[in-house]
């Protein structure tokens, strides 16, 4: 098929289809007639124009395709960035939730420890109250003296004891109270032992001084003969 025949076929079929689609067959036919006349009179110019049209079409198609590709790439990149941001937010939520869980667990642990400590202190207080109530009356008198005077000294061989001798019932009595955590001592420069209440015992007697009432009454009764 000659180039002229190819052009005739192109004109009869493709231009007709384009005209039907766009409703402008008359305009296309007129243009085709001019193109045919140009091809008949100056085929070189026609081919140059045809190649230019193809080049422009290819260039426009390439640009359009590139822009479409860029749009797709931007869309993919945007979706990827959104996914990453969502993933970061998810990790942040998980981190915050884990941190809140740890804080709740720590608070619960501290609360349980505090409750356990309070219970232990209460149990210890009740235990000490019971032990004090079962002490010998002379031991209660010694505790009362230490509580009111701040301390009591005993043990120096050259020191005259300022408290009634009847309240002392041997070293074992003081050591028994020491083993309960009621009193403790330090040895002074003259060799005597200075007994003081422990912090726990001081708090116990501050809150419940009636525990030492028997000791107070005992001391008052012991002092009565010396007052006559």
Give the pLDDT mean for 99-116: 93
> Which pLDDT belongs to residue 136?
87
Q: What SS3 state is found at 201? A: helix
Position 184 pLDDT exceeds 60:
yes
CATH architecture of the domain with residue range 136-227 = Orthogonal Bundle (1.10)
> Which pLDDT belongs to residue 155?
55
> Which of 17-26, 152-161, 174-183 tops mean pLDDT?
174-183
If pLDDT is split at 50, 70 and 90, which confidence band does 228 have? Answer: very low
What 216-225 contacts at long range (C-beta under 8 Å, 24+ apart), as own/partner pairs, is 216/141, 216/144, 218/137, 218/138, 218/140, 218/141, 218/167, 219/141, 219/144, 219/145, 219/164, 219/167, 222/141, 222/164, 222/166, 222/167, 223/164
Position 20 pLDDT exceeds 60:
no
Q: Residue 161 class from Cβ within 10 Å (0-12 exposed, 13-18 middle, 19+ buried)?
A: middle
Position 177 pLDDT exceeds 80:
yes
Give the pLDDT mean for 28-51: 64
For the chain, give every domain's residue range.
Answer: 73-134, 136-227
Closest CA to 147 of 195, 79, 185, 113: 195
pLDDT, the chain, mean: 78
Q: Which residue has the higher pLDDT, 216 or 6?
A: 216
Give the pLDDT mean for 90-98: 93
Give the pLDDT mean for 159-178: 61
If pLDDT is split at 50, 70 and 90, which confidence band does 164 have? Answer: very low
Residue appearing with tokens 């006559």: 228
Side-chain half-sphere CA neighbours of 179 within 13 A: 8
Average the pLDDT over each of 86-95, 135-144, 197-206, 217-226 and give the range with the smallest value.
217-226
Structure pTM? 0.51
Question: What is the Cα–Cα distance from 54 to 72, expressed in whole angstroms?
Answer: 26
What is the layout of strands, in order, in the sheet containing 152-154? 152-154, 193-197, 183-187
> Which pLDDT belongs to residue 34?
62
Structure-block tokens of residue 134: 């079962």
Position 5 pLDDT exceeds 50:
yes
Position 146 pLDDT exceeds 60:
yes
Rg of the chain's alpha carbons, rounded to an integer? Answer: 55
């Amino acid at each position: 098929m000659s180039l002229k025949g190819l052009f005739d076929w192109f004109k009869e079929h493709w231009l007709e289809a384009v005209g039907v689609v766009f409703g402008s067959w008359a305009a296309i036919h007129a243009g085709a007639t001019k193109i045919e006349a140009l091809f008949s009179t100056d085929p070189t110019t026609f081919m140059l124009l045809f190649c230019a049209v193809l080049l422009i079409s290819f260039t426009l198609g390439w640009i359009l395709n590139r822009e479409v590709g860029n749009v797709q790439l931007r869309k993919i990149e945007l979706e990827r960035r959104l996914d990453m941001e969502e993933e970061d937010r998810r990790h942040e939520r998980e981190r915050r939730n884990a941190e809140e869980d740890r804080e709740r667990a720590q608070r619960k642990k501290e609360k349980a420890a505090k409750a356990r400590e309070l219970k232990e202190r209460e149990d210890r207080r009740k235990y000490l109250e019971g032990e004090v109530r079962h002490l010998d009356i002379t031991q209660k008198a010694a505790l009362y003296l230490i509580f009111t005077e701040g301390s009591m000294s005993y043990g120096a061989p050259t020191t005259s004891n300022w408290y009634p001798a009847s309240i002392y019932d041997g070293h074992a009595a003081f050591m028994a109270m020491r083993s309960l955590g009621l009193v403790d001592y330090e040895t002074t420069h003259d060799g005597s032992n200075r007994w003081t209440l422990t912090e726990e015992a001081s708090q116990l007697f501050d809150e419940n001084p009636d525990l030492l009432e028997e000791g107070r009454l005992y001391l008052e009764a012991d002092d009565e003969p010396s007052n006559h």
